[in-house]
């Protein structure tokens, strides 16, 4: 999730925390700094230099540098430098084999099951146990996404989930309340849709993101994979999802394929009132607030499915330590300082407008007193991560999505869509079940 707004509050807090977040907040190394001298300073009076790789540039880079600067000023033993990397994963895999690995890596958590088996990441379980950091302070799903074979490979930096954004004026003018069920969502979307002959002027609900099938399947009471790693959507739950989509697209005509394509950020269909409701995440708050000067919107958790099941997909990023880092203990001190400390996690949240992965930070009034955050925090209580099977992303991208696209274009029946996606998907899962 990328947020490109650096708040004045966040930058002001950086200066405060930089001066006062030493001691047990940051890099008290507990004797584990390999380069530390007996007086606690680094050996020979020199700081241990750490390299932090990430692929966020622009305002995202400034956000990272705010945190790096605050950490560097909080103690005297370690100095971290952020290095922007394009094509970061390819460069990291190359560096992992030639001795040039960074010390800390900004990490899209879903990659863990793909790369942990390659032995390029360093487990952090012993660090957590040594420093007495409770895993309950983090969302269990986010930790699960950073794990492989019962080993944890980092700590969550951000968490996010989809919730339902709605245009308050359009719903009020139609005499509608925000929907809480599929039935209410269908009725509201139908009423909010406006056609002018063959031209769709206002879509009642955005149906453009086929990648949300996983979320809808959860709401129908299903899950994407079985326990033994096979597809699990060619069934009644998968059929319910596609029948719901079919009613929305072809019976109620609340959306048209391609309706939102070609619109720039400032011409976002939700901002301009051309879409009344859509699923999105907290990463869009700054965009809507920046460009939607005349937009009054609300947010609610995703509507429940036919039997009352709730569903959303948790995503987000973490910080990990490469196996090739020459300063793993010091890298851990930086990660712990940022992700497992309430004040520093809150500084990160206010700087980047991301939901931090550290749950105690979410108790702060910054979140509790702002109604925009509550729907996401409520959703995160039941949101699930994508399956951690190494072949899952390939299956979803190359088997499921193309078949869903054919179905949405009325080129393939529901039954054939689910059957073909299952057959192709199971093969891809089997072919990719072992990471090479």
Instruction: Please list, residue by residue across 397-418, b when 16 or more beta carbons sit within 10 angstroms of its beta carbon and e when fewer do.
Output: eebbebbbebbbeeebeeeebb
pLDDT, tens digit, 9 for 90 and up, residues 26-47: 333 333 343 433 333 444 579 9
pLDDT, tens digit, 9 for 90 and up, residues 78-127: 999 999 999 999 999 999 988 899 999 999 999 999 899 999 999 999 99
Q: CB of 382 within 8 A of CB of 310?
A: yes
pLDDT, tens digit, 9 for 90 and up, residues 328-359: 999 999 999 999 999 999 999 999 999 999 99
pLDDT, tens digit, 9 for 90 and up, residues 373-425: 999 999 999 999 999 998 998 999 999 999 999 999 999 999 999 999 999 99
Pick the CATH number of 8-159+315-380 from 3.40.50.10090, 3.40.50.300, 3.40.50.720, 3.40.190.10: 3.40.190.10
In the predicted structure, residue 267 carries a pLDDT above the cut 90: no
Higher pLDDT, 266 or 228: 228
User: 198: pLDDT confidence band, cut at 50, 70 and 90?
Assistant: very high
For the chain, the domains span 8-159+315-380, 161-313+388-431
What pLDDT score was predicted for residue 302? 98
Q: CB of 328 within 8 A of CB of 125?
A: no
Pairing of strands 314-315, 297-300: unpaired
Q: CB of 115 within 8 A of CB of 148?
A: no
Estimate the crossing angle of helix 328-339 against helix 342-352, to 10 degrees: 70
What pLDDT score was predicted for residue 268? 85
What pLDDT score was predicted for residue 38? 32
Q: Give the residue from 225, 210, 220 showing the smallest Cα distance to 388.
A: 225
Q: CB of 133 within 8 A of CB of 377?
A: no
Domain 8-159+315-380 identical in fold to domain 161-313+388-431: yes
The class (CATH top level) of 161-313+388-431 is: alpha beta
Summary mean pLDDT of the chain = 89
Lowest average pLDDT, out of 68-72, 130-134, 261-265, 370-374, goes to 261-265
What pLDDT score was predicted for residue 31? 35
Distances (CA, A) of 379 to 27, 288, 312, 313, 424: 34, 20, 7, 9, 32
- % residues pLDDT > 70 (the chain): 89
Pairing of strands 104-108, 48-54: parallel
In the predicted structure, residue 252 carries a pLDDT above the cut 90: yes
């Amino acid at each position: 999730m990328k947020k490109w707004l650096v708040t004045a509050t966040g930058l002001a807090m950086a200066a405060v925390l930089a001066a006062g977040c030493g001691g047990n907040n940051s890099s008290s190394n507990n004797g584990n700094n390999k380069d530390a001298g007996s007086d606690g300073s680094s050996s020979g009076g020199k700081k241990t230099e750490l390299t932090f790789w990430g692929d966020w540039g622009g305002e995202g880079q400034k956000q990272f540098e705010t945190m790096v600067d605050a950490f560097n000023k909080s103690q005297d033993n370690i100095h971290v430098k952020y290095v922007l990397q394009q094509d970061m994963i390819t460069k990291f895999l190359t560096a992992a084999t030639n001795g040039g690995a960074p010390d800390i890596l900004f990490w899209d958590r879903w990659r863990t099951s793909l790369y942990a088996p390659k032995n390029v990441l360093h487990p952090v379980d012993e660090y957590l146990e040594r420093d007495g950091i409770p895993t309950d302070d983090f969302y269990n799903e986010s930790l699960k996404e950073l794990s492989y074979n019962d080993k944890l490979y980092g700590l969550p930096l951000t968490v996010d989930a989809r919730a339902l954004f709605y245009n308050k004026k359009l719903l009020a003018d139609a005499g509608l309340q925000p929907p809480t069920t599929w039935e209410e969502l269908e009725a509201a979307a139908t009423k909010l849709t406006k056609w002018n002959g063959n031209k769709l002027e206002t879509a009642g609900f955005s149906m453009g993101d086929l990648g949300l099938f996983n979320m809808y399947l959860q709401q129908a009471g299903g899950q994407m994979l079985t326990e033994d790693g096979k597809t699990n959507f060619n069934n009644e739950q998968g059929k319910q999802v596609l029948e719901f989509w079919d009613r929305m697209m072809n019976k109620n005509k609340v959306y048209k394929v391609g309706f939102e394509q070609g619109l720039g950020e400032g011409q976002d269909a939700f901002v301009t009132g051309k879409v009344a409701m859509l699923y999105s995440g907290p990463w869009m708050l700054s965009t809507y607030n920046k460009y939607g000067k005349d937009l009054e919107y609300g947010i609610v958790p995703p509507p429940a499915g036919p039997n009352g099941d709730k569903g959303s997909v948790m995503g987000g990023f973490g910080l990990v330590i490469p196996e090739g880092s020459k300063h793993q203990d010091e890298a851990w001190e930086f990660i712990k300082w940022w992700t497992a400390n309430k004040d520093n996690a809150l500084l990160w949240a206010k700087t980047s407008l991301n939901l931090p992965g550290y749950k105690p930070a979410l108790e702060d009034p910054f979140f509790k007193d702002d109604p925009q955050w509550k729907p996401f925090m409520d959703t995160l209580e039941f949101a699930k991560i994508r399956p951690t099977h190494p072949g899952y992303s390939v299956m979803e991208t190359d088997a499921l999505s193309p078949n869903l696209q054919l179905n949405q274009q009325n080129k393939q029946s529901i039954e054939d869509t689910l059957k073909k996606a299952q057959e192709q998907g199971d093969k891809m899962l089997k072919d990719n079940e072992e990471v090479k």
